[in-house]
Every structure is written in C-alpha cells, then in structure tokens.
C-alpha cells in the first residue's frame, strides 16, 4: 500500500514494501524551551533551523507541533506552516490535539499533509474525518478510543479497523489512513513494547496499512535512550513500521542499516550515501 504525501513540489511515497520514511519529530516544544521562547517573540528562525537540520539528517517529512501553554495554536500553527513552506519543500505532518488548529493549518498549507492525529473516539472522528476529506489530507489513526488505551493488541487492531471503516465512509481513500499502534514508556510497563510490536504485526499482516509511531516514547525516564530507541525501531520495522516519528539526528543510521538488512537498499546505496554524508570533509 502506498500513502502519498506532498510538499510544495516534493512528493513522498510511504510504501509498505519500500524503505522507511522518517518523519522528523523535533519541531515540538516538549523539552525545547528555545522553541517556545522564539515562537512567543514571533521569531521563526529557530523553527527553520530545526527544519533544515532534520532534513539534512534524513527526515523525509516534518512533524509540526507548536502547542504549549498559553499559545493560540489556531493562529500559530498556520503561521508556522506558511513560514516553513516558504523555505522548505518536504511534506508536513500537522500535530495538534486541537481540530480547529489543524483545519486552520490545512487552509494555508500547500501539497498534501498528514493529520496527527485522529483516534477512535467519536468526538475525534466527527471533528477530523470531514476536515481530512475536505482538504485532501491523509490521517494518522491512533489505536485508542472512548474506552481509553487497551493493552490487548487484538483490541488495538479493532480500533484501527474502526477508524479505517469510518474514514472510508467519509470518502477518504484507504491508503490515506496511517495507523499508529501506540508506543508507550517501557519504564512504566514492562510489556509496553511487546504490546506495540504485536499490534504492528497484526496491522501489517491483516490490514496492510502504513504504520507510524513516536520512536522515542518508549525510552522516557531511562538512560541511553538512543540505544533503546534504535533497538525498538529495528524490531518495529521488521514487524511492519514504515514511517516512524523520530529524531533523524539519532535514528537515521539505525533506519538505513535496517533497510539494508531487510533487502530494501540494493547495493547499500542509501546506507553508504548516509555514512558519507555524516563524515567530516577531508582536505
């Protein structure tokens, strides 16, 4: 299955049979105080810096989250989208819990965005599916619903099926629903990663949809997050993850290595290219 996203000119195909697409996570105020202070001053230079450095590090798509306490993200999200698209060309993933902010951003966005996110709650489906249809956006469907978060992979699969069915009824194409199995901190629940890995396997084998997840969620509260995230990333890709939301500075090497190991990088072209791009210039 192929989900196509578009920037101003660039097209990105997320292909269940192809190499992994990286959605850069770093435009997110979580633990990035500088992002909050610069945005509060109406200064977009740091957002642009984060965008450019992530693209250089291997991001194919950029997640854009500008939500922080006290912000009017119905105004700030579209403004940020405008500034980003005036300067960079990759497709955007609009990340806000506020459906009105998502809609305001879609109004000004060029290309085809990914909405982050819809979930199985009636309120979420009712607010966002018509918006996705109207603006021709793809959606991320989170495997949680009005009953909260289940630890049963079959139940998470059933929520994914419900979101897909409702999206189809709204006139959204099947391939435009990217499923998020939910990745949670393994420090809080020893089985958290296993539940997610099994959900990925079920969604991949039974539904065949593209799959995303926050790659660094699992390592909250633990040391050496990079190693943990890389281990989980590799196993997740093997099970069917196709477009993680991650920090490309830290995850691209593991992603390129896994693609090569899984026969998705003929003659190691992308692996070697990435390696060379990270070497200091030799004179």
In whole angstroms, what is the distance from residue 210 CA to residue 219 CA? 23
Site string for ligand THG, 125-144 (x = CB under 6 A): ---------------x----
85, 216, 239, 242: which one binds ligand THG (CB under 6 A): 216
Contacts (CB under 6 A) with ligand THG, residues 154-213: 180, 183, 212-213
Question: Quick check: 96 binds ligand THG (CB under 6 A)?
Answer: no
Of the two residues 161 and 265, which places its CB atom closer to ligand THG in the complex? Answer: 161
Q: What's the min distance (Å) between Cβ of 32 and ligand THG?
A: 7
Of the two residues 25 and 265, which places its CB atom closer to ligand THG in the complex? Answer: 25
Contacts (CB under 6 A) with ligand THG, residues 11-30: 25, 28, 30
Q: What's the min distance (Å) between Cβ of 246 and ligand THG?
A: 8
Q: What's the min distance (Å) between Cβ of 117 and ligand THG?
A: 5
Contact 212, 176 (CB under 8 A): no
Question: Quick check: 236 binds ligand THG (CB under 6 A)?
Answer: no
210, 247, 252, 258: which one binds ligand THG (CB under 6 A): 247
Q: What's the min distance (Å) between Cβ of 31 and ligand THG?
A: 4
* Number of residues counted as binding ligand THG (CB under 6 A): 18
In whole angstroms, what is the distance from residue 232 CA to residue 212 CA? 13
Relative to beta strand 11-15, strand 2-6 is antiparallel
In whole angstroms, what is the distance from residue 150 CA to residue 263 CA? 34
Beta-strand ranges (E) seen in the chain are 2-6, 11-15, 23-27, 61-64, 92-95, 114-119, 138-142, 177-180, 245-246
Phi/psi at 208 (5° precision): 75, 20
Contact 54, 32 (CB under 8 A): no
Question: Quick check: 31 binds ligand THG (CB under 6 A)?
Answer: yes
Of the two residues 95 and 259, which places its CB atom closer to ligand THG in the complex? Answer: 95
Of the two residues 133 and 250, which places its CB atom closer to ligand THG in the complex? Answer: 250
What token pair was written down for 117?
């996110």
In whole angstroms, what is the distance from residue 75 CA to residue 105 CA? 8
In whole angstroms, what is the distance from residue 135 CA to residue 142 CA? 20
Of the two residues 116 and 258, which places its CB atom closer to ligand THG in the complex? Answer: 116
Strand, helix or coil for residue 64: strand
Binding interface with ligand THG (CB under 6 A): 25, 28, 30-31, 95, 116-117, 140, 180, 183, 212-214, 216-217, 245, 247, 250
């Amino acid at each position: 299955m192929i989900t196509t996203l578009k920037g101003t000119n660039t097209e990105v195909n997320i292909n269940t049979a192809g190499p992994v697409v990286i959605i850069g996570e770093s435009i997110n105020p979580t633990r990035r105080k500088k992002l909050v202070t610069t945005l509060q001053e109406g200064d977009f230079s740091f957002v642009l810096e984060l965008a450019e450095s992530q693209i250089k590090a291997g991001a194919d798509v950029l997640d854009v989250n500008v939500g922080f306490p006290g912000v009017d993200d119905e105004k700030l999200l579209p403004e940020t989208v405008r500034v980003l698209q005036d300067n960079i060309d990759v497709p955007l993933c609009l990340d806000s819990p506020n459906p009105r902010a998502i809609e305001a951003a879609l109004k000004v966005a060029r290309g085809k965005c990914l909405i982050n996110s819809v979930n199985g709650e009636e309120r979420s489906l009712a607010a966002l599916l018509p918006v996705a249809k109207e603006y021709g956006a793809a959606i991320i469907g989170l495997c949680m619903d009005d009953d909260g978060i289940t630890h049963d992979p079959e139940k998470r699969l059933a929520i994914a099926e419900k979101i897909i069915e409702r999206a189809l009824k709204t006139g959204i194409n099947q391939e435009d629903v990217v499923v998020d199995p939910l990745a949670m901190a393994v420090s809080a629940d020893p089985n958290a990663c296993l539940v997610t890995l099994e959900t990925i396997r079920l969604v991949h084998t039974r539904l065949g949809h593209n799959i995303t997840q926050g790659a660094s969620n699992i390592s909250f509260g633990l040391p050496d997050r990079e190693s943990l995230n890389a281990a989980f990333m590799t196993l997740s890709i093997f099970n069917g993850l196709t477009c993680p939301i991650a920090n490309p500075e830290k995850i691209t090497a593991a992603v390129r290595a896994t693609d090569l190991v899984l026969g998705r990088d003929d003659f190691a072209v992308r692996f070697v290219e990435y390696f060379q791009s990270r070497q200091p210039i030799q004179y």
